[in-house]
Amino acid sequence: MPIVYLIQHAEKQRASGEPALTALGMAQAAQTARWLAGRGVRSLFSSPQRRAWQTAEVIASELWLTVVPDPRLRERSNWAGTTPFEAFLADWQRSVEDRDYVPGGGDSSRQAGERMRAFVAGLPADHGPVAAVTHGGLTVDLLRTMLGDDQVPDELLSDGVPPCAITTLDGLNVTAIASVAHMQPP
């Protein structure tokens, strides 16, 4: 299996449904693309959800790659705006605490982690380095599945994954978790 860079989408607008990136989010995606340019990335996959897709498009333009949509990279639950945001957050928190709980309109944390693990495990070894733009909840679900809860940093469970943070895998081995070092000024 290749090196895989799992990229949290950039900062999104605060809105229900399919929010777009903010201006800062577009700049974050561009900075991430510049960092990835030196990593020999040969393939770029993305969640079909708008915030991830927009992040991937910025990266694709820098790396001269085509974005390949993969539904396995979508978030496990998405606030559609049909319920109060506080109710969505409570449902999300329940799914964090009980990995088998299936929130309305989504997957359980365990199901999502296995879906993401299947994506990574299915990449051919000769594929070269791969970038995949996804979502923080899904990345945490994968880490919980692969490493166990006690190895996942508490702040990721409580605060989520920062915009454009990169989790690096060497096959199914985690080598970096939610790194934002590339986002720091030089």
pLDDT tens, position by position, 65-99: 999 999 999 888 766 667 777 877 777 778 878 88
Structure tokens that stand for 179 in this block: 């790194």
pLDDT for the residue 70: 95
Averaged pLDDT, 44-52: 92
pLDDT for the residue 157: 83
Question: What whole-number distance in Å separates Cα of residue 119 and Cα of residue 160?
Answer: 21
The mean pLDDT of the chain is: 89
H helices of the chain, where? 23-37, 50-63, 85-97, 109-121, 136-147, 154-159
18, pLDDT greater than 90: no
Question: What whole-number distance in Å separates Cα of residue 89 and Cα of residue 112?
Answer: 17
